Amino acid sequence: MAWIRYLAYLFGFAIVTALLTQLEAAYPGSLRLQVFVGPLDTLGTSEFSPLETIQLVVLLACGAMMAWVAQYCLQQRPLAILLGGLALACLIRELDYFLDRHVADNFWQVLSAVVAALLIAYAYRNRRRMQIALARSWPSSGLTLLYAGALVLFVFSLLIGHEPLWQSIFGDEYRRSAKTAIEEFIEWIGYALWLIGTIEYTYQAQAAALAEPQPVVRRRRRRGKDRRSS
């Protein structure tokens, strides 16, 4: 039942957030929101934070669910591939520090550009199927939550996490770790909405696939296999 799922979302994310905040309050520095990796590092990084790790797990879970929808819910495949690609792009962005440090400088930007180009090309070539998939799934609580999560991640988090804003507010008392903490917890809100939206979208896609006449589903799967083999 839907209300049970939403209660689980409420308590699940409340517990995780409470554990993270209480951990930092009880053991200052345990969230590792500003780690200096060498004598030449003057800014520090938050990439070793448990909060960042949880965000990566959320993105992997979202990508896996979208891959499942694309595989088994054919009518939603174009939209699922697009949303899964966005999760992959976000994953690459979250790994920017490690990719730049251990692979090549700005390598994450190259990967992100490749993913973005592939998604744009796919969306253009399948624009008609994309419109049909969207028409079949909208209005949808899952897509609404995905949209809300995208607003938080791609608009609100970027604007509120802008360093000059906090330098202006705090002046000489500015501390980068405080700005980073605010930015990371705002991102956590966005990823929470994104995960809930992905789960709800997956439920909806599965329900629509089960409700579809099975002979139609089998014919579509057969056509899909024939196209892949040709």
Are 100 and 107 in contact by the 8 Å Cβ rule? The answer is: yes
pLDDT over threshold 90, residue 117: yes
Q: How far is CA 75 from CA 57, 99, 103, 222, in A?
A: 27, 35, 38, 14
- Spatial CA neighbour of 81 closest among 111, 109, 128, 122: 122
Tell me, yes or no, whether 153 lies in a domain: yes
The predicted structure's pLDDT at residue 57: 95
Q: What is the model's pTM?
A: 0.85
Span 158-204, pLDDT tens digits: 888 888 888 898 888 888 888 888 889 999 999 999 999 999 999 98
Span 166-179, pLDDT tens digits: 889 888 888 888 88
147 pLDDT band (50/70/90 cuts)?
very high
Give the residue-averaged pLDDT of 107-126. 91
Q: Count of domains in the chain?
A: 1
Name the residue range of residue 79's domain: 48-223
Q: Average pLDDT over the chain, rounded to whole?
A: 86
Tell me, yes or no, whether 139 lies in a domain: yes
Tell me, yes or no, whether 104 lies in a domain: yes
Tell me, yes or no, whether 31 lies in a domain: no
pLDDT over threshold 90, residue 64: yes
Any residues with CB less than 8 A from the CB of 73 and at least 6 apart, and which? 80, 205, 206, 208, 209
The predicted structure's pLDDT at residue 89: 92
Tell me, yes or no, whether 39 lies in a domain: no
Tell me, yes or no, whether 58 lies in a domain: yes
Give the residue-averaged pLDDT of 38-47. 78
Tell me, yes or no, whether 14 lies in a domain: no
- Spatial CA neighbour of 150 closest among 58, 54, 81, 83: 83
Tell me, yes or no, whether 53 lies in a domain: yes
48 pLDDT band (50/70/90 cuts)?
confident
